[in-house]
Amino acid sequence: MKKKVLIVDDQNGIRVLLMEVFSNEGYDTYQASNGKLALEIVKNSSPDLLLLDMKIPGMDGLDILKHVKAIDASIKVIMMTAYGELDMIKEATDLGAIMHFTKPFDIDELRMAVNMQLNNESSSGFAVGS
């Protein structure tokens, strides 16, 4: 079954770019421009990973992250932030985000991070083997 990636960003250009990149990687991709839509997609489609912008009008990234983790704690979340939101990054990590990228990010680094998270199921911190 294909892994599912949900891109949550209020900037259409970023959503379009990331949709194209991750569709080409073979993932089912979804997009949301706001928190309400993002949470509907999480409930209806159970994405494996969210790329979540920190600053979204209405419901910010931390609020969305809290709601997503309440719906399904196993969903992996990578935060995307503008420069200078370090206090929010720490809070996002405390809430369960696995990593963050600062905009403008290197698309190849982001692509590799997502592939690593979605294709390496043993990356949950448990030792494998003897």
Q: What class is the 4-115 domain?
A: alpha beta
* pLDDT value of position 84: 67
* pLDDT value of position 75: 98
* pLDDT value of position 120: 75
Going residue by residue through the chain (130 aa), what tens digit of pLDDT does each one get? 899 999 999 999 999 999 999 999 999 999 999 999 999 999 999 999 999 999 998 999 999 999 999 999 999 999 998 866 778 889 999 999 999 999 999 999 999 999 999 997 544 443 334 3
* pLDDT value of position 129: 44
Q: Are 102 and 83 in contact (CB under 8 A)?
A: yes
* pLDDT value of position 87: 82
Q: Cα 94 to chain center, whole Å?
A: 15
Question: Distance between CA atoms of 46 and 39, rounded to whole angstroms?
Answer: 10
**Positive/negative CA dihedral, 52, 58, 60, 66:** negative
Q: Are 92 and 65 in contact (CB under 8 A)?
A: yes
* pLDDT value of position 125: 42
Question: Distance between CA atoms of 28 and 91, rounded to whole angstroms?
Answer: 29
- DSSP track, 74-110: T-EEEEEE-TT-HHHHHHHHHTT--EEEESSPPHHHH
Tokens representing residue 104 in the block: 């403008």
Question: Distance between CA atoms of 105 and 119, rounded to whole angstroms?
Answer: 21
Q: What pTM value is reported for the model?
A: 0.90
Q: Are 45 and 75 in contact (CB under 8 A)?
A: no
Tokens representing residue 126 in the block: 């448990």
* pLDDT value of position 121: 55
